[in-house]
């Protein structure tokens, strides 16, 4: 259970001093224990939130078919999301404990409330529509759209609010990665399923979102610096991220060139959606990698300590 195959050479083995001393190369912080359900949820929840905003925007300019597609996407999202979240719990029967407190210091608790309220609004809006209460339904769509952006970005705060090095240190840029992924996915849904005479805004959203995803991802990696950027360039995290980037680029190109062709448009939408999913898996995998190697914990903390000590020396000298 606790077997580690990793051992750093000790001073005794090499006669030299190891660069970053650690305890047999073992992790200092624990990697997250979430199953792939959670990465899927990050994508689905994020897309549902952005879809609710696009739904209202489409409604306002009379593109009702597109609005309906986006609303169905949001509804599907909130139906699947709790299943994924509950499946990941260690004690699924206690899922409701998420709502036994309202706790500002816990992004997961706030997120549970956001998801509950958002799901309630989208669900009630759909129900009202079935009953033929058009105005109530539209009003509830606006309520959902008010909560949607929070649903899309809170998961970035959730992962950044940990001791996982590449998550915490990317706290300023990660929400933009998640927002771009949500926007691109909502756009892709519109492009794939709405009638082509109504999906112009969805196409712009899909392509703009995919460009934003590439830009925000690059900004995040730059912000993380050479050391902490490593988990996004190597291993599983690196593979996911590289594939995601290639699919985004492919989606942008195909989406721009083939905008008059239904099949090409759907291909582009698939590429962009897959890129968004893989970006979430890249974040999950890179987080795990950065926790598993103690150098990502030790070296930034050492640097911080040294900087503080230099500052103290300066101010005292």
Partner 1 sequence: MSGLYDETAAEREMATHTQQESRKGFFTDTTLCIGCKACEVACKEWNQLPADGYAFTGNSYDNTGELNGSTWRHVAFVEQLRSGALAAPAAPPPQSPAQSQSQSQSQGAPTGGHQVVHPDAGRWLMESDVCKHCTHAACLDVCPTGALVRTEFGTVVVQQDVCNGCGYCVPACPFGVIDKRDYDGHAGKCTLCYDRLQDGETPACAKACPTESIQYGDVEELRTRADARLAKLQREGQYTDASLYLRDTGDGIGGAGAFFLLLDKPEVYGLPPDPFDTTRDLGRLWRHAGYAALALVGVTALAALGTRR
Chain positions 224 to 283 lying near partner 1, rule: CB under 8 A, are none
For residues 12-51, which are near partner 1 according to CB under 8 A? 12, 14-15, 17-18, 20-24, 26-34, 50
Which window, 71-79, 128-136, 207-215, 238-246, contacts partner 1 (CB under 8 A)?
A: 207-215
Smallest gap from residue 96 Cβ to partner 1 (A):
8
Nearer to partner 1, 18 or 261 (CB): 18
Under 8 Å between Cβ of 49 and 148: yes
Q: Which residue has the tokens 């608790």?
A: 109
Which window, 89-97, 247-255, 259-267, 274-282, contacts partner 1 (CB under 8 A)?
A: 89-97
By rule CB under 8 A, what string of x and - marks binding of each residue 135-154 to partner 1?
A: --------------xx-xxx
Length of the chain in terms of residues written = 317
Q: Which residue has the tokens 């898996």?
A: 281
Q: How many CB atoms lie within 10 A of CB 136?
A: 15
For residues 97-116, which are near partner 1 according to CB under 8 A? 97-98, 100-101, 103, 105-109, 112
- State the Cα–Cα distance between residues 223 and 226, nearest whole angstrom: 9
Under 8 Å between Cβ of 282 and 237: yes
Nearer to partner 1, 173 or 248 (CB): 173
Q: How many residues bind partner 1 (CB under 8 A)?
A: 98
Query: Residue 317: enclosing H or E segment and its boundaries?
Result: none
Which window, 125-133, 181-189, 236-244, 274-282, contacts partner 1 (CB under 8 A)?
A: 181-189
Give residues with Cβ within 8 angstroms of 175, minimum separation 6.
153, 156, 157, 160
């Amino acid at each position: 259970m606790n077997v580690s195959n990793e051992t750093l050479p000790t001073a005794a083995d090499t006669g030299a001093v190891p660069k970053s001393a650690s305890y047999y190369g073992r992790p200092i912080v624990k990697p997250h224990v979430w199953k792939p359900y959670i990465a899927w949820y990050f994508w689905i929840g994020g897309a549902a939130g952005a879809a609710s905003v696009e739904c209202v925007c489409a409604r306002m300019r009379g593109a009702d078919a597109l609005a309906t597609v986006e609303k169905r996407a949001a509804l599907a999202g909130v139906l699947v999301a709790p299943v994924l979240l509950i499946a990941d719990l260690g004690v699924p029967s206690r899922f409701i404990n998420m709502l036994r407190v309202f706790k500002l210091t816990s992004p997961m608790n706030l997120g549970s409330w956001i998801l509950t309220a958002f799901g309630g609004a989208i669900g009630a809006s759909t129900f009202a529509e079935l009953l033929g209460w058009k105005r109530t339904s539209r009003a509830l769509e606006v309520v959902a759209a008010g909560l949607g952006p929070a649903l899309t970005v809170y998961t970035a705060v959730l992962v950044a609010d940990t001791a996982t090095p590449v998550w915490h240190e990317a706290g300023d840029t990660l929400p933009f990665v998640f927002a771009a992924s949500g926007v691109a996915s909502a756009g892709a849904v519109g492009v794939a399923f709405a009638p082509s005479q109504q999906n112009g805004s969805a196409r712009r959203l899909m392509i703009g979102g995919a460009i934003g995803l590439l830009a925000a991802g690059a900004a995040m990696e730059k912000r993380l610096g050479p050391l902490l950027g490593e988990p996004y360039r190597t291993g599983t995290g690196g593979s996911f991220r590289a594939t995601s980037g290639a699919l985004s680029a492919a989606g942008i190109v195909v989406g721009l060139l083939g905008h008059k062709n239904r099949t090409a448009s759907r291909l582009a939408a698939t590429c962009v959606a897959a890129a968004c999913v893989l970006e979430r898996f890249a974040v999950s995998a890179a987080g795990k990698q950065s926790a598993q190697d103690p150098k990502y914990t030790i070296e930034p903390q050492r640097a911080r300590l040294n900087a503080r000590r230099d500052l103290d020396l300066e101010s005292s000298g």
